[in-house]
Amino acid sequence: MSRVQLAIVGGGLVGASLALALQAGARARGWRIVLVEPFAPGNAWQPSYDARSSAISYGSRQIFERLGLWSALAERAEAITQIQVSDKGRFGATRLSAVDEGVPALGYVLENAWMGHCLWRALDPAVVEWRCPAEVTRMEPLGDGYRLHLGDDSSLDCDLAVLADGGRSGLREQLGIAVRHTPYEQCALIANVSPADPHGGQAFERFTEQGPLALLPLPDERCALVWTRPPVDAERLQALPDCEFLGELQQAFGYRLGSLRQVGARHVYPLALVEATEQVRPHLVVLGNAAHSLHPVAGQGFNLSLRDALALAESLLQDAAGPGDFAVLQRYLQRQRQDQALTVGFSDGVTRLFGRGESLLVAGRTLGLLGLDLLPPAKRWFARQAMGLGTRSL
């Protein structure tokens, strides 16, 4: 059995980002970090037509720049220069543009596998030890930390355990941390598609009676589709032959990018807003999707968790107290509480406002979209929120 200062349970995008944010400070302090993850991202990276992607905000780019990862990520990042938000069958659309906002890009689209690969390569094994493939099966609170029991019957003691094992965290449940679970009764269907026309860096968010549809620009003239539909319909669309699927998508999206020519593997995710009722305990932090899992339509989940990870790393490194100190962890949460509430509220509000067909809401959202074009401060607020630049007021 060994003891380390920090153990991160889950080496997904959030757990690995936290390890990177801590790396330099941990090296200076002589801290040891262990990252436990069942699936190795691997050292080789192959571009794939079917890779899943995330829209990351301009604010997240700034965080990755600080962490020294942006130049590597940028090799395969597609800049979003314009976002077009529209409502199918109704008058009213708004365009957010990087030029108007005075930024090089509103955001970027990155393949998750590429981000994982870049994070994996950036971690220094002398500071961050990967236990991979390995799985934490049980977490036992000690007076001065946690004991992690691993699937191979070994165990590991740590001053601070960070639970970053994703939205379906079984360990969170095992620790008795309750969640607020609000199902949206919708599923997200994800696929990559190739349109006939170049996307020119445009992202599209289109709201339909059945739910919102987002098409994001990817390298190699592909687009990442996130199509929210009622569960039965999402399963039906997933099972359709490619040409029929593309026909239905074309009908919902229109011809803004010409005809849609090719589609890759389709994946369906059930959607819910899941929030842990506790994020910190002495010697424990719940992070990433294990802390809050959002509707993907507003593209905020990873962006928010990256801000959380940076804030947690800074809080731990700024304080002379040890990493598990409860007061330090409470200060971290206090620092992020407003950002979390605003971002969760923004994603949930956008989803509910645009995901329904009731006439009052329909009128309201059309006015809302028009209003965004008519009222520059509202549009600016929306753009800054989407860019993850920590908007506090109009």
Instruction: Return residues touching ligand FAD (CB under 6 A).
Output: 9-15, 36-39, 54-55, 135-136, 164-166, 171, 188, 190, 226, 269, 288-289, 296, 299-303, 305
The amino acid at 17: S
Cβ at position 1, least distance to ligand FAD in Å: 18
The distance of closest approach from Cβ of residue 109 to ligand FAD in the complex, given in angstroms and rounded to an integer, is 8
Residue nearer to ligand FAD on the CB measure, 60 or 315: 60
Q: Shortest gap between Cβ of 72 and ligand FAD (angstroms)?
A: 19
State in angstroms the smallest separation of the CB of 335 from ligand FAD.
Answer: 19
3-state secondary structure of 239: helix
- Minimum distance from CB of 374 to ligand FAD (Å)? 28
d(CA 267, CA 225): 11
Beta-bridged to residue 95, according to DSSP, are 84
Q: Answer yes or no: are the C-beta atoms of 8 and 19 closer than 8 Å.
A: yes
- Closer residue to ligand FAD (CB): 15 or 195: 15
Collapsing DSSP states into helix, strand and coil, what is residue 294?
A: coil
Residue 257's Cβ-side half-sphere holds a number of Cα atoms within 13 Å equal to: 26
- Torsional class of 167: left (φ above 0), alpha (ψ -120 to 50), beta (otherwise): alpha
What is the rounded distance in angstroms from the CA atom of residue 392 to the CA atom of residue 381?
9
55 vs 98, beta carbon nearer ligand FAD: 55
The tokens 């690995």 sit on which residue?
Answer: 16
Amino acid at 108: Y
Between 133 and 364, name the residue whose CB sits nearer to ligand FAD.
133
- Based on CB atoms, which residue is closest to ligand FAD, 205 or 325? 205
Contact 364, 354 (CB under 8 A): no
Nearer to ligand FAD, 54 or 325 (CB): 54
Give the nearest distance from C-beta 255 to ligand FAD in angstroms.
24
